[in-house]
Protein backbone atom coordinates (compact mmCIF):
# COMPACT_ATOMS: atom_id res chain seq x y z
CA UNK A 1 0.00 0.00 0.00
CA UNK A 2 1.27 3.48 -0.83
CA UNK A 3 2.34 5.80 1.93
CA UNK A 4 1.75 9.47 2.74
CA UNK A 5 -0.72 11.84 1.14
CA UNK A 6 -1.00 9.76 -2.01
CA UNK A 7 -2.20 6.80 0.05
CA UNK A 8 -4.61 8.99 2.01
CA UNK A 9 -6.07 10.47 -1.17
CA UNK A 10 -7.19 6.99 -2.23
CA UNK A 11 -8.22 5.59 1.14
CA UNK A 12 -11.82 5.11 2.22
CA UNK A 13 -11.15 7.54 5.10
CA UNK A 14 -10.14 10.22 2.63
CA UNK A 15 -13.11 9.51 0.36
CA UNK A 16 -15.47 9.79 3.32
CA UNK A 17 -13.92 13.13 4.28
CA UNK A 18 -14.28 14.43 0.73
CA UNK A 19 -17.86 13.19 0.60
CA UNK A 20 -18.70 15.17 3.74
CA UNK A 21 -17.15 18.28 2.21
CA UNK A 22 -19.18 17.72 -0.97
CA UNK A 23 -22.31 17.83 1.18
CA UNK A 24 -21.31 21.17 2.66
CA UNK A 25 -20.30 19.87 6.07
CA UNK A 26 -17.97 22.24 7.91
CA UNK A 27 -18.39 20.98 11.50
CA UNK A 28 -18.51 17.50 13.04
CA UNK A 29 -19.40 16.99 16.70
CA UNK A 30 -17.60 14.04 18.25
CA UNK A 31 -16.05 12.18 21.14
CA UNK A 32 -12.83 10.51 19.95
CA UNK A 33 -12.74 6.73 19.58
CA UNK A 34 -10.33 4.16 18.26
CA UNK A 35 -12.93 2.58 16.01
CA UNK A 36 -12.78 5.45 13.51
CA UNK A 37 -9.18 6.66 13.73
CA UNK A 38 -8.81 6.22 9.99
CA UNK A 39 -11.50 8.84 9.45
CA UNK A 40 -10.21 11.38 11.95
CA UNK A 41 -6.73 10.93 10.48
CA UNK A 42 -8.11 11.92 7.08
CA UNK A 43 -10.12 14.79 8.54
CA UNK A 44 -7.05 16.31 10.20
CA UNK A 45 -5.78 17.01 6.68
CA UNK A 46 -9.13 18.53 5.68
CA UNK A 47 -9.17 22.19 6.76
CA UNK A 48 -12.71 22.63 5.44
CA UNK A 49 -14.08 20.51 8.30
CA UNK A 50 -13.79 21.42 11.97
CA UNK A 51 -13.83 18.62 14.53
CA UNK A 52 -15.41 19.75 17.79
CA UNK A 53 -14.24 17.44 20.56
CA UNK A 54 -16.96 17.08 23.21
CA UNK A 55 -17.02 15.53 26.68
CA UNK A 56 -19.88 13.04 26.33
CA UNK A 57 -21.60 11.47 23.36
CA UNK A 58 -25.00 12.58 24.62
CA UNK A 59 -23.81 16.18 24.67
CA UNK A 60 -22.15 15.81 21.27
CA UNK A 61 -25.38 14.41 19.87
CA UNK A 62 -27.48 17.30 21.16
CA UNK A 63 -24.91 19.71 19.68
CA UNK A 64 -25.21 18.02 16.28
CA UNK A 65 -29.03 18.19 16.46
CA UNK A 66 -28.90 21.90 17.33
CA UNK A 67 -26.33 22.56 14.61
CA UNK A 68 -28.60 21.07 11.99
CA UNK A 69 -31.50 23.25 13.10
CA UNK A 70 -29.37 26.37 12.95
CA UNK A 71 -28.43 25.67 9.33
CA UNK A 72 -31.84 25.73 7.76
CA UNK A 73 -32.64 22.04 8.16
CA UNK A 74 -29.38 20.63 6.85
CA UNK A 75 -28.37 17.56 8.80
CA UNK A 76 -25.90 17.99 11.62
CA UNK A 77 -23.16 15.37 11.81
CA UNK A 78 -22.26 13.30 14.86
CA UNK A 79 -19.20 11.03 14.99
CA UNK A 80 -19.12 8.41 17.76
CA UNK A 81 -17.38 5.17 18.56
CA UNK A 82 -19.02 1.78 18.71
CA UNK A 83 -20.81 0.22 21.67
CA UNK A 84 -20.81 2.56 24.68
CA UNK A 85 -20.17 5.59 22.49
CA UNK A 86 -23.27 5.12 20.38
CA UNK A 87 -25.30 4.00 23.40
CA UNK A 88 -24.48 7.28 25.13
CA UNK A 89 -25.62 9.19 22.05
CA UNK A 90 -28.97 7.43 21.68
CA UNK A 91 -30.81 10.14 23.66
CA UNK A 92 -29.95 12.57 20.86
CA UNK A 93 -31.02 10.11 18.17
CA UNK A 94 -34.32 9.64 19.99
CA UNK A 95 -34.75 13.42 20.08
CA UNK A 96 -33.99 13.80 16.37
CA UNK A 97 -36.40 10.98 15.52
CA UNK A 98 -39.35 12.38 17.49
CA UNK A 99 -38.55 16.01 16.70
CA UNK A 100 -38.27 15.36 12.93
CA UNK A 101 -34.76 16.82 12.89
CA UNK A 102 -32.18 15.72 10.28
CA UNK A 103 -29.07 14.09 11.73
CA UNK A 104 -26.34 11.92 10.23
CA UNK A 105 -24.54 9.70 12.72
CA UNK A 106 -21.21 8.15 11.75
CA UNK A 107 -20.37 5.24 14.03
CA UNK A 108 -17.34 2.98 14.16
CA UNK A 109 -17.70 -0.79 14.23
CA UNK A 110 -15.46 -3.78 14.91
CA UNK A 111 -13.29 -5.11 12.10
CA UNK A 112 -15.15 -7.05 9.44
CA UNK A 113 -13.28 -10.27 10.14
CA UNK A 114 -14.65 -10.23 13.70
CA UNK A 115 -18.34 -9.77 12.87
CA UNK A 116 -20.55 -12.02 14.97
CA UNK A 117 -17.86 -13.01 17.47
CA UNK A 118 -19.01 -10.60 20.20
CA UNK A 119 -15.78 -8.69 19.72
CA UNK A 120 -15.04 -5.77 22.02
CA UNK A 121 -18.03 -3.38 21.99
CA UNK A 122 -19.67 -5.12 19.01
CA UNK A 123 -23.39 -4.56 18.58
CA UNK A 124 -25.95 -5.20 15.88
CA UNK A 125 -26.81 -1.62 15.06
CA UNK A 126 -29.56 -2.47 12.60
CA UNK A 127 -31.44 -4.00 15.53
CA UNK A 128 -30.35 -1.51 18.18
CA UNK A 129 -31.36 1.57 16.20
CA UNK A 130 -34.37 0.21 14.31
CA UNK A 131 -36.93 2.23 16.28
CA UNK A 132 -35.12 5.59 16.47
CA UNK A 133 -33.61 6.05 13.00
CA UNK A 134 -34.92 6.32 9.47
CA UNK A 135 -32.24 3.89 8.30
CA UNK A 136 -29.06 2.15 9.36
CA UNK A 137 -26.54 1.93 6.51
CA UNK A 138 -23.70 -0.55 7.03
CA UNK A 139 -20.64 0.07 4.85
CA UNK A 140 -18.89 -3.26 4.40
CA UNK A 141 -17.58 -2.70 0.87
CA UNK A 142 -15.18 0.10 0.03
CA UNK A 143 -16.99 1.04 -3.17
CA UNK A 144 -20.13 1.90 -1.16
CA UNK A 145 -18.51 4.37 1.23
CA UNK A 146 -19.23 7.61 -0.64
CA UNK A 147 -22.60 6.35 -1.83
CA UNK A 148 -23.56 5.66 1.79
CA UNK A 149 -22.86 9.27 2.76
CA UNK A 150 -24.99 10.58 -0.10
CA UNK A 151 -27.83 8.22 0.80
CA UNK A 152 -27.63 9.13 4.48
CA UNK A 153 -27.99 12.87 3.88
CA UNK A 154 -30.77 12.33 1.36
CA UNK A 155 -32.79 10.20 3.78
CA UNK A 156 -32.08 12.40 6.81
CA UNK A 157 -33.23 15.57 5.09
CA UNK A 158 -36.12 14.29 2.93
CA UNK A 159 -39.81 13.75 3.71
CA UNK A 160 -40.12 13.65 7.48
CA UNK A 161 -36.55 14.53 8.53
CA UNK A 162 -34.78 12.35 11.06
CA UNK A 163 -31.59 10.54 12.05
CA UNK A 164 -29.72 8.15 9.78
CA UNK A 165 -26.80 6.05 11.04
CA UNK A 166 -23.82 5.04 8.90
CA UNK A 167 -21.87 2.13 10.41
CA UNK A 168 -18.18 1.99 9.48
CA UNK A 169 -15.97 -1.01 10.36
CA UNK A 170 -12.62 -0.06 11.87
CA UNK A 171 -10.56 -1.79 9.18
CA UNK A 172 -12.25 -0.18 6.18
CA UNK A 173 -10.81 3.35 6.49
CA UNK A 174 -7.30 2.54 5.26
CA UNK A 175 -8.49 0.35 2.40
CA UNK A 176 -7.82 1.78 -1.10
CA UNK A 177 -10.85 2.64 -3.17
CA UNK A 178 -11.21 3.57 -6.82
CA UNK A 179 -14.90 4.46 -6.73
CA UNK A 180 -15.73 8.10 -7.56
CA UNK A 181 -17.35 10.46 -5.10
CA UNK A 182 -21.13 10.20 -5.00
CA UNK A 183 -22.63 13.61 -5.67
CA UNK A 184 -25.19 15.07 -3.24
CA UNK A 185 -28.72 14.14 -4.24
CA UNK A 186 -31.17 16.94 -5.02
CA UNK A 187 -33.75 17.68 -2.36
CA UNK A 188 -37.14 16.39 -3.45
CA UNK A 189 -40.13 18.54 -2.52
CA UNK A 190 -43.72 17.35 -2.51
CA UNK A 191 -46.18 19.53 -4.36
CA UNK A 192 -49.79 20.16 -3.45
CA UNK A 193 -52.43 19.32 -6.04
CA UNK A 194 -54.31 22.30 -7.45
CA UNK A 195 -57.65 20.83 -6.39
CA UNK A 196 -56.42 20.41 -2.81
CA UNK A 197 -55.25 24.03 -2.67
CA UNK A 198 -58.61 25.12 -4.08
CA UNK A 199 -60.41 23.12 -1.42
CA UNK A 200 -58.20 24.50 1.36
CA UNK A 201 -58.80 28.07 0.17
CA UNK A 202 -62.53 27.40 0.14
CA UNK A 203 -62.51 25.91 3.64
CA UNK A 204 -60.56 28.86 5.02
CA UNK A 205 -62.83 31.34 3.28
CA UNK A 206 -65.96 29.70 4.69
CA UNK A 207 -64.70 29.32 8.25
CA UNK A 208 -65.91 31.77 10.88
CA UNK A 209 -63.35 30.77 13.49
CA UNK A 210 -60.33 29.16 11.79
CA UNK A 211 -57.22 28.29 13.78
CA UNK A 212 -53.73 27.90 12.31
CA UNK A 213 -51.05 25.90 14.09
CA UNK A 214 -47.50 26.19 12.75
CA UNK A 215 -44.89 23.65 13.75
CA UNK A 216 -41.81 21.61 13.05
CA UNK A 217 -41.80 21.63 9.25
CA UNK A 218 -41.42 25.42 9.45
CA UNK A 219 -38.81 25.33 12.21
CA UNK A 220 -35.99 25.87 9.73
CA UNK A 221 -37.89 28.15 7.37
CA UNK A 222 -36.12 31.10 5.80
CA UNK A 223 -36.99 34.58 7.10
CA UNK A 224 -38.88 35.24 3.87
CA UNK A 225 -41.16 32.28 4.55
CA UNK A 226 -42.03 33.50 8.05
CA UNK A 227 -42.67 36.97 6.65
CA UNK A 228 -45.04 35.38 4.14
CA UNK A 229 -46.80 33.58 7.00
CA UNK A 230 -47.30 36.93 8.75
CA UNK A 231 -48.68 38.42 5.53
CA UNK A 232 -51.09 35.50 5.14
CA UNK A 233 -52.34 35.93 8.71
CA UNK A 234 -52.93 39.65 8.12
CA UNK A 235 -54.60 39.35 4.71
CA UNK A 236 -56.78 36.35 5.48
CA UNK A 237 -57.42 37.45 9.11
CA UNK A 238 -56.17 34.25 10.71
CA UNK A 239 -54.92 33.57 14.26
CA UNK A 240 -51.54 31.81 14.18
CA UNK A 241 -50.33 29.62 17.04
CA UNK A 242 -46.76 28.27 17.21
CA UNK A 243 -46.69 24.74 18.59
CA UNK A 244 -44.63 23.03 21.26
CA UNK A 245 -41.00 24.23 21.38
CA UNK A 246 -41.41 26.32 18.19
CA UNK A 247 -42.28 29.74 19.71
CA UNK A 248 -40.12 31.71 17.28
CA UNK A 249 -42.28 30.92 14.24
CA UNK A 250 -44.66 33.86 14.77
CA UNK A 251 -44.15 37.18 16.53
CA UNK A 252 -45.81 36.95 19.93
CA UNK A 253 -46.39 40.74 19.86
CA UNK A 254 -48.34 40.59 16.60
CA UNK A 255 -52.13 41.10 16.89
CA UNK A 256 -52.73 37.87 14.92
CA UNK A 257 -50.80 35.79 17.45
CA UNK A 258 -53.31 33.26 18.78
CA UNK A 259 -51.35 31.82 21.69
CA UNK A 260 -48.68 29.20 22.27
CA UNK A 261 -49.84 25.61 21.73
CA UNK A 262 -47.45 23.67 23.97
CA UNK A 263 -47.75 21.30 26.90
CA UNK A 264 -50.69 22.01 29.18
CA UNK A 265 -52.11 25.13 27.53
CA UNK A 266 -53.86 27.39 30.08
CA UNK A 267 -57.46 26.38 30.45
CA UNK A 268 -58.98 29.68 29.38
CA UNK A 269 -56.97 29.72 26.15
CA UNK A 270 -57.58 26.11 25.13
CA UNK A 271 -61.30 26.44 25.88
CA UNK A 272 -61.45 29.43 23.52
CA UNK A 273 -59.50 27.51 20.88
CA UNK A 274 -62.04 24.71 21.08
CA UNK A 275 -64.61 27.12 19.65
CA UNK A 276 -62.73 26.95 16.32
CA UNK A 277 -64.64 25.58 13.33
CA UNK A 278 -61.51 24.70 11.29
CA UNK A 279 -58.00 23.67 12.30
CA UNK A 280 -55.14 24.07 9.82
CA UNK A 281 -52.04 22.19 11.03
CA UNK A 282 -49.44 23.89 8.85
CA UNK A 283 -46.26 21.84 9.11
CA UNK A 284 -47.31 20.27 12.42
CA UNK A 285 -47.38 16.52 13.14
CA UNK A 286 -49.80 17.01 16.08
CA UNK A 287 -48.24 15.04 18.88
CA UNK A 288 -49.75 14.35 22.29
CA UNK A 289 -47.95 17.44 23.65
CA UNK A 290 -49.60 19.70 21.08
CA UNK A 291 -53.03 18.05 21.16
CA UNK A 292 -53.28 18.22 24.95
CA UNK A 293 -53.00 14.44 25.29
CA UNK A 294 -55.07 13.82 22.15
CA UNK A 295 -58.03 15.79 23.47
CA UNK A 296 -57.85 18.74 21.03
CA UNK A 297 -58.08 17.56 18.40
CA UNK A 298 -59.40 14.23 19.59
CA UNK A 299 -57.76 11.10 18.17
CA UNK A 300 -58.37 9.41 15.89
CA UNK A 301 -61.43 11.40 14.82
CA UNK A 302 -61.09 15.16 15.46
CA UNK A 303 -64.06 17.07 16.85
CA UNK A 304 -63.63 19.76 14.16
CA UNK A 305 -62.58 19.81 10.50
CA UNK A 306 -58.83 19.26 10.24
CA UNK A 307 -56.45 20.11 7.41
CA UNK A 308 -52.91 18.79 7.83
CA UNK A 309 -49.98 19.98 5.71
CA UNK A 310 -46.77 17.95 6.01
CA UNK A 311 -44.06 17.03 3.47
CA UNK A 312 -44.49 13.28 3.93
CA UNK A 313 -47.64 11.35 3.01
CA UNK A 314 -46.83 8.62 5.53
CA UNK A 315 -47.26 11.08 8.39
CA UNK A 316 -50.61 12.55 7.36
CA UNK A 317 -53.42 10.43 8.78
CA UNK A 318 -51.08 8.28 10.86
CA UNK A 319 -52.83 9.32 14.10
CA UNK A 320 -55.60 11.76 13.17
CA UNK A 321 -58.08 11.44 10.32
CA UNK A 322 -57.87 14.76 8.47
CA UNK A 323 -60.65 16.11 6.32
CA UNK A 324 -57.93 17.20 3.93
CA UNK A 325 -54.28 16.15 3.80
CA UNK A 326 -51.76 18.03 1.69
CA UNK A 327 -48.33 16.54 1.03
CA UNK A 328 -46.22 19.65 0.55
CA UNK A 329 -43.75 21.96 2.19
CA UNK A 330 -45.80 24.44 4.25
CA UNK A 331 -43.95 27.37 2.63
CA UNK A 332 -45.39 26.37 -0.74
CA UNK A 333 -48.93 26.28 0.65
CA UNK A 334 -48.49 29.73 2.21
CA UNK A 335 -47.31 31.15 -1.10
CA UNK A 336 -50.16 29.49 -3.00
CA UNK A 337 -52.76 31.01 -0.67
CA UNK A 338 -51.16 34.45 -0.93
CA UNK A 339 -51.30 34.28 -4.72
CA UNK A 340 -55.04 33.63 -4.52
CA UNK A 341 -55.63 36.76 -2.49
CA UNK A 342 -57.72 37.16 0.62
CA UNK A 343 -61.33 35.98 0.39
CA UNK A 344 -64.19 38.43 0.55
CA UNK A 345 -65.51 38.90 4.04
CA UNK A 346 -62.34 37.84 5.84
CA UNK A 347 -62.60 40.92 8.04
CA UNK A 348 -65.59 39.33 9.81
CA UNK A 349 -63.09 37.16 11.70
CA UNK A 350 -61.38 40.12 13.36
CA UNK A 351 -63.27 39.61 16.62
CA UNK A 352 -62.30 35.94 16.78
CA UNK A 353 -58.64 36.76 16.25
CA UNK A 354 -58.73 39.61 18.77
CA UNK A 355 -60.35 37.40 21.38
CA UNK A 356 -57.61 34.77 21.20
CA UNK A 357 -54.90 37.42 21.15
CA UNK A 358 -56.44 39.16 24.14
CA UNK A 359 -56.27 35.99 26.23
CA UNK A 360 -52.64 35.51 25.17
CA UNK A 361 -51.75 39.09 26.11
CA UNK A 362 -53.35 38.77 29.54
CA UNK A 363 -51.50 35.53 30.21
CA UNK A 364 -48.18 37.16 29.28
CA UNK A 365 -48.57 40.13 31.60
CA UNK A 366 -45.32 40.45 33.61
CA UNK A 367 -46.93 39.90 37.00
CA UNK A 368 -46.11 37.25 39.57
CA UNK A 369 -46.19 36.70 43.29
CA UNK A 370 -43.01 36.68 45.35
CA UNK A 371 -42.35 33.44 47.16
CA UNK A 372 -40.84 32.80 50.58
CA UNK A 373 -38.86 29.66 49.67
CA UNK A 374 -36.88 31.08 46.76
CA UNK A 375 -37.08 33.15 43.60
CA UNK A 376 -40.22 32.88 41.52
CA UNK A 377 -38.66 31.94 38.18
CA UNK A 378 -41.06 34.31 36.47
CA UNK A 379 -38.88 37.18 37.67
CA UNK A 380 -35.86 35.67 35.90
CA UNK A 381 -37.65 35.17 32.59
CA UNK A 382 -39.17 38.65 32.57
CA UNK A 383 -35.72 40.14 33.15
CA UNK A 384 -33.99 37.94 30.56
CA UNK A 385 -36.58 39.01 27.97
CA UNK A 386 -35.37 42.62 28.33
CA UNK A 387 -31.86 41.61 27.23
CA UNK A 388 -32.54 39.17 24.38
CA UNK A 389 -31.27 40.30 20.99
CA UNK A 390 -33.47 39.96 17.88
CA UNK A 391 -31.17 37.14 16.69
CA UNK A 392 -30.62 35.43 20.04
CA UNK A 393 -30.50 31.66 20.34
CA UNK A 394 -32.39 30.39 23.38
CA UNK A 395 -32.23 26.78 24.51
CA UNK A 396 -34.29 25.00 27.09
CA UNK A 397 -33.88 21.75 28.91
CA UNK A 398 -36.88 19.66 29.92
CA UNK A 399 -38.59 20.67 33.13
CA UNK A 400 -41.35 22.79 34.64
CA UNK A 401 -39.07 25.83 34.66
CA UNK A 402 -39.56 25.97 30.87
CA UNK A 403 -43.22 26.91 31.37
CA UNK A 404 -42.02 30.28 32.68
CA UNK A 405 -40.05 30.79 29.46
CA UNK A 406 -43.11 30.31 27.27
CA UNK A 407 -45.36 32.39 29.50
CA UNK A 408 -43.10 35.38 30.09
CA UNK A 409 -40.73 35.63 27.10
CA UNK A 410 -42.21 36.85 23.85
CA UNK A 411 -40.34 35.28 20.94
CA UNK A 412 -40.18 36.53 17.39
CA UNK A 413 -38.94 35.35 13.99
CA UNK A 414 -35.19 35.85 13.72
CA UNK A 415 -34.61 34.31 17.12
CA UNK A 416 -33.77 30.63 17.40
CA UNK A 417 -35.35 28.38 20.00
CA UNK A 418 -33.59 25.06 20.48
CA UNK A 419 -34.80 22.23 22.65
CA UNK A 420 -35.77 18.59 22.70
CA UNK A 421 -39.40 18.57 21.59
CA UNK A 422 -39.71 15.01 22.87
CA UNK A 423 -38.68 16.20 26.33
CA UNK A 424 -35.23 14.69 26.84
CA UNK A 425 -33.30 16.13 29.75
CA UNK A 426 -29.74 17.20 29.08
CA UNK A 427 -30.31 19.12 25.84
CA UNK A 428 -30.17 22.70 27.17
CA UNK A 429 -26.47 23.20 27.88
CA UNK A 430 -24.95 21.39 24.86
CA UNK A 431 -27.40 23.04 22.47
CA UNK A 432 -26.40 26.45 23.82
CA UNK A 433 -22.73 25.54 23.46
CA UNK A 434 -23.36 24.50 19.86
CA UNK A 435 -25.21 27.76 19.16
CA UNK A 436 -22.34 29.78 20.63
CA UNK A 437 -19.76 27.86 18.58
CA UNK A 438 -21.77 28.04 15.36
CA UNK A 439 -22.60 31.75 15.79
CA UNK A 440 -19.68 33.43 17.59
CA UNK A 441 -20.43 36.84 19.00
CA UNK A 442 -24.20 36.28 19.11
CA UNK A 443 -26.27 35.56 22.19
CA UNK A 444 -26.78 31.94 23.24
CA UNK A 445 -28.84 31.55 26.42
CA UNK A 446 -29.61 28.21 28.06
CA UNK A 447 -32.32 27.58 30.62
CA UNK A 448 -31.74 24.38 32.56
CA UNK A 449 -32.89 22.82 35.79
CA UNK A 450 -30.65 21.54 38.55
CA UNK A 451 -31.29 17.97 37.36
CA UNK A 452 -30.44 18.58 33.73
CA UNK A 453 -27.46 20.77 34.54
CA UNK A 454 -25.53 17.85 35.97
CA UNK A 455 -26.53 15.54 33.12
CA UNK A 456 -24.67 17.48 30.44
CA UNK A 457 -23.23 20.58 32.06
CA UNK A 458 -19.74 19.21 31.54
CA UNK A 459 -19.99 20.57 28.00
CA UNK A 460 -19.12 23.97 29.49
CA UNK A 461 -15.60 22.61 29.12
CA UNK A 462 -16.23 22.31 25.38
CA UNK A 463 -17.37 25.93 25.30
CA UNK A 464 -14.17 26.98 27.04
CA UNK A 465 -12.03 24.97 24.62
CA UNK A 466 -13.54 26.63 21.56
CA UNK A 467 -13.89 30.16 22.92
CA UNK A 468 -17.69 30.08 23.09
CA UNK A 469 -19.59 32.20 25.59
CA UNK A 470 -23.12 30.91 26.30
CA UNK A 471 -25.14 32.13 29.28
CA UNK A 472 -26.41 29.18 31.31
CA UNK A 473 -29.23 29.90 33.76
CA UNK A 474 -29.75 27.13 36.30
CA UNK A 475 -33.10 26.91 38.04
CA UNK A 476 -32.24 25.17 41.32
CA UNK A 477 -35.23 24.08 43.39
CA UNK A 478 -33.30 21.09 44.76
CA UNK A 479 -35.53 18.46 43.21
CA UNK A 480 -36.79 16.90 40.02
CA UNK A 481 -39.66 19.36 40.14
CA UNK A 482 -41.73 18.14 37.20
CA UNK A 483 -41.85 14.62 38.58
CA UNK A 484 -42.80 16.00 41.97
CA UNK A 485 -45.68 17.91 40.40
CA UNK A 486 -46.93 14.83 38.57
CA UNK A 487 -46.72 12.82 41.81
CA UNK A 488 -48.73 15.42 43.67
CA UNK A 489 -51.40 15.48 40.95
CA UNK A 490 -51.66 11.71 40.63
CA UNK A 491 -51.34 10.83 44.33
CA UNK A 492 -52.57 13.86 46.30
CA UNK A 493 -51.72 14.14 49.98
CA UNK A 494 -49.05 11.45 49.69
CA UNK A 495 -45.39 12.05 50.59
CA UNK A 496 -43.02 12.07 47.62
CA UNK A 497 -40.08 14.34 48.53
CA UNK A 498 -37.63 11.48 49.07
CA UNK A 499 -38.30 10.28 45.52
CA UNK A 500 -37.37 13.60 43.85
CA UNK A 501 -35.03 15.46 46.25
CA UNK A 502 -31.56 16.52 45.05
CA UNK A 503 -28.43 17.64 46.88
CA UNK A 504 -26.76 20.17 44.62
CA UNK A 505 -23.42 21.94 44.39
CA UNK A 506 -22.94 25.68 44.38
CA UNK A 507 -23.55 26.04 40.64
CA UNK A 508 -21.87 29.44 40.44
CA UNK A 509 -18.70 27.98 41.98
CA UNK A 510 -19.08 24.93 39.72
CA UNK A 511 -19.12 27.23 36.71
CA UNK A 512 -16.03 29.07 37.91
CA UNK A 513 -14.12 25.80 38.12
CA UNK A 514 -14.53 25.48 34.33
CA UNK A 515 -13.35 29.08 33.86
CA UNK A 516 -16.84 30.53 33.46
CA UNK A 517 -18.23 33.56 35.24
CA UNK A 518 -20.33 32.45 38.21
CA UNK A 519 -23.31 34.48 39.44
CA UNK A 520 -25.68 33.66 42.29
CA UNK A 521 -29.26 34.95 42.56
CA UNK A 522 -30.85 33.99 45.87
CA UNK A 523 -33.54 36.68 46.15
CA UNK A 524 -35.72 38.64 43.76
CA UNK A 525 -33.95 41.84 44.78
CA UNK A 526 -30.84 40.40 43.08
CA UNK A 527 -32.50 39.49 39.78
CA UNK A 528 -32.09 42.72 37.83
CA UNK A 529 -28.42 43.23 38.64
CA UNK A 530 -27.55 39.54 38.30
CA UNK A 531 -29.10 39.14 34.84
CA UNK A 532 -27.57 42.42 33.62
CA UNK A 533 -24.15 41.23 34.79
CA UNK A 534 -24.61 37.92 32.98
CA UNK A 535 -25.38 39.63 29.67
CA UNK A 536 -22.46 42.03 30.09
CA UNK A 537 -19.91 39.19 29.98
CA UNK A 538 -18.77 38.57 26.41
CA UNK A 539 -15.50 36.65 26.61
CA UNK A 540 -16.42 33.44 28.46
CA UNK A 541 -19.39 31.33 29.52
CA UNK A 542 -21.60 32.48 32.37
CA UNK A 543 -23.39 30.26 34.88
CA UNK A 544 -26.25 31.95 36.74
CA UNK A 545 -27.28 29.95 39.80
CA UNK A 546 -30.88 30.82 40.68
CA UNK A 547 -32.22 29.54 44.00
CA UNK A 548 -35.73 28.91 42.73
CA UNK A 549 -38.98 28.43 44.62
CA UNK A 550 -40.19 24.85 44.80
CA UNK A 551 -43.63 25.96 45.95
CA UNK A 552 -44.19 27.72 42.61
CA UNK A 553 -44.09 24.43 40.72
CA UNK A 554 -44.63 25.91 37.25
CA UNK A 555 -45.81 29.10 35.62
CA UNK A 556 -49.35 27.78 35.97
CA UNK A 557 -49.37 25.83 39.22
CA UNK A 558 -48.47 26.34 42.85
CA UNK A 559 -47.99 23.44 45.20
CA UNK A 560 -51.28 22.42 46.77
CA UNK A 561 -53.27 24.92 44.68
CA UNK A 562 -55.66 24.18 41.81
CA UNK A 563 -53.95 24.21 38.45
CA UNK A 564 -54.48 27.10 36.08
CA UNK A 565 -54.06 25.14 32.86
CA UNK A 566 -56.25 22.64 31.06
Range with the poorest average pLDDT among 1-10, 297-306, 529-538: 1-10
Residues pairing with 243 in the sheet = 261
Query: What b/e string do you get for 283-300 counting C-beta neighbours within 10 Å, with b at 16 or more?
Result: bbbbbebbbbebebbeee
Query: Looking at residue 6, what is its pLDDT?
Result: 40
Query: Looking at residue 560, what is its pLDDT?
Result: 67
Query: Looking at residue 28, what is its pLDDT?
Result: 98
pLDDT level of residue 337 (50, 70, 90 thresholds) = very high
Query: Looking at residue 2, what is its pLDDT?
Result: 40
Cβ-Cβ contacts under 8 Å for 43 (sequence gap 6 or more): 17, 28, 49, 51
pLDDT level of residue 17 (50, 70, 90 thresholds) = very high
Separation between Cα atoms, residue 217 and residue 285, nearest integer Å: 9
Phi, psi dihedrals of residue 102, rounded to the nearest 5° = -70, 135
Cβ-Cβ contacts under 8 Å for 495 (sequence gap 6 or more): none
pTM of the model: 0.94
Cβ-Cβ contacts under 8 Å for 465 (sequence gap 6 or more): 53
Flag whether pLDDT at 116 surpasses 80.
yes
Query: Looking at residue 566, what is its pLDDT?
Result: 41
Rounded to 5°, the CA angle 57-76-540 comes to 65
pLDDT level of residue 229 (50, 70, 90 thresholds) = very high
| Average per-residue pLDDT for the chain | 94
Which residues in 226-361 belong to E strands, given as ranges? 240-242, 278-282, 306-310, 324-327
**142 DSSP 8-state letter:** G
pLDDT level of residue 493 (50, 70, 90 thresholds) = confident
Report the chain's C-alpha Rg in angstroms. Answer: 24
Phi, psi dihedrals of residue 326, rounded to the nearest 5° = -125, 115
Separation between Cα atoms, residue 298 and residue 319, nearest integer Å: 10
Flag whether pLDDT at 5 surpasses 70.
no
120-179 per-position pLDDT tens digit: 888 899 999 999 999 999 999 999 999 999 999 999 999 999 999 999 999 999 999 988
Range with the poorest average pLDDT among 402-406, 540-544, 551-555: 551-555
Residues pairing with 168 in the sheet = 108
Separation between Cα atoms, residue 265 and residue 269, nearest integer Å: 7
Range with the poorest average pLDDT among 297-306, 367-376, 383-392, 495-504: 495-504
Flag whether pLDDT at 563 surpasses 80.
no
Find out whether 475 and 449 touch, Cβ atoms under 8 Å: yes
Cα–Cα nearest to 78, from 56, 95, 57, 109? 57
Pairing mode, strands 306-310 and 76-80 = unpaired
Which residues in 466-530 belong to E strands, given as ranges? 471-476, 517-521
Inter-CA distances, 174 with 12, 25, 106, 137, 139, Å: 6, 22, 16, 19, 14
Mean pLDDT of 107-115: 91
Cis before 29 (ω within 30): no
Query: Looking at residue 66, what is its pLDDT?
Result: 97
Q: What domains, with CATH codes, occur in the chain?
A: 4-172 (3.40.50.970), 194-355 (3.40.50.1220), 377-547 (3.40.50.970)
Mean pLDDT of 234-240: 98
Separation between Cα atoms, residue 253 and residue 234, nearest integer Å: 13
Flag whether pLDDT at 223 surpasses 80.
yes
Flag whether pLDDT at 562 surpasses 70.
no
Amino acid sequence: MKEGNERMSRSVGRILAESLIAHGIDTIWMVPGESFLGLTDALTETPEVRLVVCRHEGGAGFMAVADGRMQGGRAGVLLVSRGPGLSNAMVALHTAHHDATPLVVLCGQVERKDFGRLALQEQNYAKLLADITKDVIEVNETVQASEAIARAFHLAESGTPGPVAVILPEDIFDEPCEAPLAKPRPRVHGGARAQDLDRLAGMLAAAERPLVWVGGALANAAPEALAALRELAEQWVLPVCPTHRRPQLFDSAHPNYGGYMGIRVPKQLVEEMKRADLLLALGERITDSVSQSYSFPTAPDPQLPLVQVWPDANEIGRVFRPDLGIVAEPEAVIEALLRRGAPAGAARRAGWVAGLNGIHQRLMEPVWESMTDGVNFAAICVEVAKHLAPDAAVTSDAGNFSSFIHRYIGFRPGQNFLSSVVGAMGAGVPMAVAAAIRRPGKQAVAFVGDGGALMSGNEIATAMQYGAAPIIIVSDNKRYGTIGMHHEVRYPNRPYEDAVRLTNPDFAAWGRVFGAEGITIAAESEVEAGIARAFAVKDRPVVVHVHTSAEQMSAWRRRGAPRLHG
